[in-house]
Amino acid sequence: MRQIILDTETTGLSAENGDRIIEIGCVELLHRKLSGNNKHFYLNPERDSHEDALKVHGISNEFLKDKPKFADIADALLDYVQGAEIIIHNASFDIGFLNKELELLGKPAFTTCVQSVTDSLVMAKEMFPGKRNSLDALCDRLEVDNSGRTLHVALLDAELLADVYINITRGQDALLMAAESTDTGHGNTQLADISQLKLPVIRATEQELTQHEDVLAQLDKASGGKTVWRSQENSVA
Mind telling me the catalytic residues? 152
Alpha-carbon dihedral angle through residues 229, 231, 235, 237, given to the nearest 10 degrees: 70
Q: Quick one: DSSP state of residue 12?
A: S
Backbone angles phi, psi at 22, to 5 degrees: -115, -15
Query: What is the C-alpha separation between 39 and 113, in angstroms, rounded?
Result: 17
Q: Quick one: DSSP state of residue 213?
A: H
Compute the C-alpha angle 175/110/69, nearest 5°.
Answer: 125
Backbone angles phi, psi at 121, to 5 degrees: -65, -40
Classify residue 41 as exposed, middle or buried by CB count within 10 Å of its CB (0-12, 13-18, 19+).
buried
Sign of CA dihedral 72, 78, 79, 81: positive
